[in-house]
Amino acid sequence: MTRPVIGVPVIGVLALQGDVREHLAAVRDQGAEALTVRRQEELAGVDGLVLPGGESTTIALLAERFGLMDPLRAAVRGGLPVYGSCAGMILLADRLLDAPPGQETIGGLDVTVRRNAFGRQADSFESQMSFDDGVGGGPLHAVFIRAPWVEEAGEGVTVLGRIVGGAADGRIVAVRQGNLVATSFHPELTGDRRVHALFVDIVRRSLAEKAGTAAGNERGLS
């Protein structure tokens, strides 16, 4: 049996607000093609999507205004790999704490996320955290900016990272559920590319799976 040919994955970065450029660069570093997504047609053309950090209420309002909120929800339900960093984690969460009434999310990730969880004194800080992407590599040095944390994670959610030391010791700051990945911190701002590597790998696997299914269908195998 010939293996289906898998092309370079195309990964979109939602470009309504936030640190888009840094994610484009980090994704390209991993050998994927990266482009900005602002419209539904652009969303339809990507194999994976990054939701950058920024301000989650602003991003949600703009997504609504650009007619992207429902297509984003449908994409997540349909299994599109999505990585949310900081505000992006908030946007992926099924449940929010300390959010203004009525703040909408895309959802899909079975977690309760607390916004601005580290308190006022810690608007921005760097911390050491444990990180387990399944291939090892040890602790990760992370940058947090008015960051959320995962207060509670559902059963199907794997915890990838926790804060080590200090007042927030043990708090969950990186998770994965199927094709969804979320971090409280900003790996695009440091040289450590393990989170983007993990995400691009998820996108590659999902592409390979789809190609396999399509090849199977062509041969009447499924």
Which positions from 97 through 116 interact with ligand GLN, judged by CB under 6 A? 115-116
Given a contact cutoff of 8 angstroms between Cβ atoms, the answer to whether 52 and 20 are in contact is yes
Which part of the chain contacts ligand GLN (CB under 6 A), choosing from 30-38, 86-94, 130-138, 195-203?
86-94
Q: Identify the residue among 11, 20, 87, 143 touching ligand GLN (CB under 6 A).
A: 87
Binding mask 175-194 for ligand GLN (x = CB under 6 A): --------------------
Residue 54 in contact with ligand GLN, rule: CB under 6 A:
yes
Given a contact cutoff of 8 angstroms between Cβ atoms, the answer to whether 184 and 148 are in contact is yes
Q: Which helix (H) or strand (E) holds 83?
A: strand 82-85
Helix axes 69-77, 56-65, angle to 10 degrees: 100
Q: Which is nearer to ligand GLN, 36 or 116 (CB)?
A: 116
φ, ψ for residue 75, nearest 5 deg: -65, -45
Residue 129 in contact with ligand GLN, rule: CB under 6 A:
no
* Type of residue found at 5: V
Q: Identify the residue among 29, 33, 42, 55 touching ligand GLN (CB under 6 A).
A: 55
Active site residues: 86, 186, 188
Q: Which is nearer to ligand GLN, 131 or 144 (CB)?
A: 144
Residue 117 in contact with ligand GLN, rule: CB under 6 A:
no
β partners of residue 150: 113, 172
Other CB atoms within 10 A of residue 211 CB: 15
Q: Which single residue is written with the structure tokens 């992407």?
A: 133
Given a contact cutoff of 8 angstroms between Cβ atoms, the answer to whether 118 and 137 are in contact is no
Q: Identify the residue among 56, 127, 177, 183 touching ligand GLN (CB under 6 A).
A: 56
Binding mask 5-44 for ligand GLN (x = CB under 6 A): ----------------------------------------
Q: Which single residue is written with the structure tokens 């195998």?
A: 221
If you count them, how many residues does the chain have? 222
Binding residues for ligand GLN (CB under 6 A): 53-56, 86-87, 90, 115-116, 145-146
